[in-house]
Amino acid sequence: MDKRTKAYKESIKEVEVSYNVGDKVEKVLDATGISKLVKFIAGEDCGCDERKAKLNDMFGYTVLCLTEDEHSYLDNFFKGNPQEIQPSEYIKITSIASRVLNKRIDASMGCGGCVRGVVKQMKQIYESYEG
């Protein structure tokens, strides 16, 4: 997609995408008919909503969309096919990841595994724009 077009700019506007385990479980239970069976046996107030909320709190997270500047930075970074990551690059990527993943990521925790994990997450998010 051409970055100068209105369609591109609209596609990277600030939006939230939720990944919540409770919502996924609910979809599976609805699709298989188990939800209807449980409500038939236990009644309408079977505790499903409370369990769903608890699962979402424990295992859910929200991903914010990249801004145009963040996308441009990651575009340049990943198209360069980095084999080594400079400290300044890691600091920039962790600041983007902290905002997008809505969680604190300490840039000083720069062990090899930590760096690879954050870069891998950001690459997955970046690649979702390239589809």
Contacts of 41 (CB under 8 A, 6+ apart): none
- On whether both 104 and 77 belong to a single domain, the answer is yes
What's the predicted TM-score (pTM) here?
Answer: 0.56
Distance CA 71, CA 131 (A): 14
Asked if residue 4 belongs to a domain, the reply is no
Based on the fold, state whether residues 35 and 81 are members of the same structural domain. no
Structural domain of 35: 16-63
Contact 107, 94 (CB under 8 A): yes
- The 10s digit of each residue's pLDDT in 36-87 is 888 888 888 888 888 877 877 776 666 788 888 999 999 999 988 788 888 8
pLDDT by residue (tens digit) across 92-104? 999 999 888 877 8
Residues 73 and 87 in one domain: yes
Query: Can you tell me the distance from the alpha carbon of 66 to that of 3, in angstroms, rounded to the nearest whole number?
Result: 13
Residues 74 and 125 in one domain: yes
| Same domain as 70, residue 115 | yes
